[in-house]
Amino acid sequence: MVTTVSRVLNRVSSPADLRTLNDEELSALASEVRELLVQTVARTAGHLGPNLGAVELTIALHRVFDSPTEPILFDVGHQAYVHKILTGRAGQMPTLRQTNGISGYPSRQESEHDWIENSHASTALSYADGLSKAYDIRGERRPVVAVVGDGALTGGMCWEALNNIAASDRPVIVVVNDNGRSYAPTIGGIAEHLAGLRLRPGYERVMGTVKAGLPRVPVVGPSLYEALHGMKRGVKDVLAPQGMFEDLGLKYVGPIDGHDRRALEAAFAQARGFGAPVIVHCVTRKGFGYAPAENDEADQMHQSAPFDPATGAVVAAPPRRWTEVFADELVALGERRDDVVAITAAMCEPTGLGAFSRRFPERTYDVGIAEQHAMTSAAGLASGGLHPVVAIYATFLNRAFDQLLMDVALHRLPVTVVLDRAGLTGDDGASHNGMWDLALLGVIPDIRIAAPRDEPTLRAEFHEAVEIEDGPTVVRFPKTPLPAEIKAVRSVNGVDVLAEPGPDALVDVLVIAIGATAADTLQASRAATDAGYTVRVVDPRWVTPVNPQLIEFSRHARLIVTVEDGVAVGGAGSRISQAVRAAGVTTASREVGIPTQFLAHGKIADVRMKAGLTATDIGRRIVEWSALVQRAETDTLSTADSEAIDTA
């Protein structure tokens, strides 16, 4: 699906084309880019606010630096829609985040201009450090640009990288896109330092220019910067000190009005010419130029559902989601227990901590984009007699694994980790799928993992988790809307039976549904029943440790099939199979899960189909595996009969 783009934009198929445009055309281009952003995200959903704030900045970068020869690396990448538009993908924007369309993040498959695509924060500076070292070894003197938000500067990797970058004379240009926010307002000491710069008179003059320009967006007034730079130990802005960067030995330029293209170009050109590491501090406004985004107090339309472009109003009310249920239960828990505290890594609202933070602000800690610190800080809180609830996306748990293993679990501390967006997330692509957690967590000794299947079990299992005081607990749930309640036929020693021919029946297949797979698994089991096989479907509720009742059920089945929305290799199913074998049970077992692949973005239903995780796929496999077991048993009996005849 390709659309015809507007009059200036249709002359831009590569960054080189930007250098042929005059000031009037560049102002028109900024307007057209903003219009395309709004119209696109209104239909496809996605990250609107960050991109609206980065239009002039991205145009200026591509006019000064020769991409892709001079790499421009976008940290996280959610602000790279403008970069995509300017590098030949404007006509593909209607396919943004759609199945077989362009990604919502930089993608190496899409363009040579996209160098990195992992979309986890605070990594671009390390990539830039490594790339610059590679060029140095090869005898090439190429600048490498890393665009990093002020929110990402709260992540420790940024400072580890800056420490190394500053120790060299390689031409790494760090562009700090400072809008005072990641999802929510950026917090912490670094944020306070940047805020201190914003309070100085020079910064106020910059912001005065930005605010005055709002009614004229995207036509930005003449630059107020006739002399942007002074010299002190290298390049430095004359308006504000660069204390925290200067202490590292980095040259500093700024703050620069991030919506004044000519000022940005002058700053980038001087930084480029310096030939050594430079920080360029650009001040932008998230959502700039689109009133509904600017006026959105929560997050400036950081990540938007489909909306009416004329008003910014969401087109349809979203269905009730798992996150909302968790949010309600956390507040209720906080009312009853004053030892419960909440921790977020810069994602208070998206992970469901918003209501708790408003009700109990003194018991809520936003640590910035710092999942590792969040987990060990939680360990400290637990050591002090509190019960921390750490709420993060499942994909970001990968970053805090060592801390959960060594700082929490080793000390048997009562920390409850709530993993939102577990399983397949779809349109945000490979780096956001929460498919690794069950395999990773399974190697942690004595950890307890709950996987609810619906709203009542989420409420119950979350409360069970926070009652455990002798070690860490995990509660995981997906991004998808809540399913209808799935009632158990009966419960046996903590395992819910969802379907069976009878309580004492020997069955052909024991199907173990992990968490939110229960609805599809029940539907899939009907295919096996229709094929003539008897089926018992159970939900263990707590995935780890393996409930002994599952082993008992396995003794009364000819085949065990586990179904999970995590990677099959090393996942919950494999641990159940190991436990069954360790108990001396010889029942055959098979695992249904996500293949160990980086799955492309797309609608969740499409990604599930590619992963073989639809109800139809699960049902087909249950039937095929049941037939194989039946055939094997028949062959065994035939062989035994033949041997008996031969012996006779």
In degrees, rounded to 5, the angle at the alpha carbon of residue 304 between the alpha carbons of residues 12 and 210 is: 60
Contact 178, 240 (CB under 8 A): no
- C-beta separation of 545 from 551 below 8 A: no
290-324 as b/e, with b when 16 or more CB fall inside 10 Å? bebbbebeebbbbbbeebebeebeeeeeeeebbbe
Kind plus residue range of the DSSP H or E element containing 155:
none
Q: Is the dihedral of CA 333, 338, 344, 349 positive or negative?
A: positive
Q: Who's near 122: CB < 8 A, 6+ residues apart?
A: 75, 148, 152, 153, 154, 155, 156, 157, 158, 369
CA 620 to chain CA centroid, nearest Å: 32
End-to-end CA distance of the chain: 73
Which of 225, 303, 256, 249 is closest to 61 using CA atoms?
Answer: 256
Pair 350, 327: CB distance under 8 Å? no
Q: Report the catalytic residues.
A: 286, 371, 399
Distances, alpha carbon 160 to alpha carbons 123, 252, 281, 453, in Å: 10, 18, 19, 41
Query: What region does 257 belong to: left with phi over 0, alpha with psi -120 to 50, or beta?
Result: beta
Closest to 67 measured CA to CA, from 36, 81, 38, 88: 88
Angle between helical axes of 201-213 and 189-198 (0-180°, round to 10): 80
* Number of neighbours of residue 445 by Cβ within 10 angstroms: 10
How many C-alpha atoms does 251 have within 13 Å on its Cβ side?
A: 26
Cβ count within 10 A of residue 24: 10
588-594/473-476 β-pairing: unpaired
How, if at all, do strands 495-499 and 535-539 pair? antiparallel
- Its sign, for the CA torsion 232, 235, 238, 242, is negative
- CA torsion 165→170→175→180, rounded to 10°? 10
The DSSP letter of residue 481 is: B
